[in-house]
Structure 1
Amino acid sequence: MRYFFVLLNFLAVVAFAQQRPQLPNLKTTPDSRKVQAYITISKAFEASQPDSAVHYANEGMRFAEKRKDQNGQAQLLLRLGNINATHRHTDLARRFYNESLTMFRRLRDAEGVARTYDALGLLDGTEKNLPAATQNLHEALKLYKNKRDSSGIIETYEGLGRVYAQKGDTEKALSYYLRALDYYHHHKTKPEAYFVLLENISNIYQKKGNTAAAMHYLKEGLDNSKQQALRDTEPHLLNEEGKVFEQTHDQLKALSAYKEAFAEAKRYKQPEEQAQALINIAALLKKQDTKTSLSDLKLALNIAKGLKQPQLEANIYKAMAGVYQQEKNYREAMEALEEQHRLLDSLLQADTAKDIASLDSSYALESSREKIGNLEDINRKERTELILGLIILVIVIIMLIGLVVYLRKIKRLNEELRNSNRIKDTLFSVIGHDLKGPAGSAAQLFELMETEEFTEEELRGMIAELRKQTTASLELLKALFEWGKAQLQGIKVNPSDFDPKPVIARTIHLLSAQAAQKNISIDEKIAEYLLIHADADHFEFIIRNLLSNAIKFTYNGGSIQLAANLVTDKKEVVFSVSDSGIGISKAQQQVFLSGNLNVSFGTAKEKGSGLGLMLTKDFIKANNGRIWLESQEGTGTTFYVALPVG
Structure 2
Amino acid sequence: MDFNMRRLIFILFLALIYTETMSIEKIDSLENLLKNNLTYSEKLNVYFELIDTYLDTDIQKSFELIKKIEKTIKSSDSKAKLQLQLFTGIAYGKSGEFDKSNSIFNEVINQSKKLNTEEFLARTYLNMGLNYLRVGFIDKATDNINLAEKYAKKYNNINILAFINIGQGLIMRAKDKCDESIKYFFSAEKYFKSKNDLDNLATVYVNLSSCLAKSNLDEGMKYLIESIKINEKLNKLSNLAISYHNLGALYFEKKDYQESIKWLEKSLEIKQKMNNQIGIATTCLAIGEVYFSIKNYGKAQKYLNDALKILEPSQSLSLLMNTYQMLDSLNQKTKNYKKAHEYLNRYYEIQNKLNEVEKSKVVENLNMKYEIANKEKENAQLKRKYDKQYYISTIVIIAAGFIALLSVMLFIKNRNKKKTNKLLTLNKNIIEAKNAELANLNEELSLINDKLKESNLQKDKFFSIVSHDLRSPVSSMYQLIELMVRDYKNMTEEDKIESLECIQYSAKNTFDLIQNLLTWSRSQLNKIEFNPQLVNAFDMVALTISFIKPVADAKGISIINKVDTKEEILIDKEMISTVVRNLVSNSIKFTNPGGKITINIENSDNNNKIFSVKDTGVGIPDKIAETLFVIGSTISTLGTNDEQGTGLGLLLCKEFVEKHNGKIWLESEVGKGTTFYFTVN
TM-score by length of 2: 0.38
Does 1 or 2 have the higher relative contact order (CA < 8 Å, sep 6+)? 2
TM-score by length of 1: 0.40
| Structure whose alpha-carbon radius of gyration is higher | 1
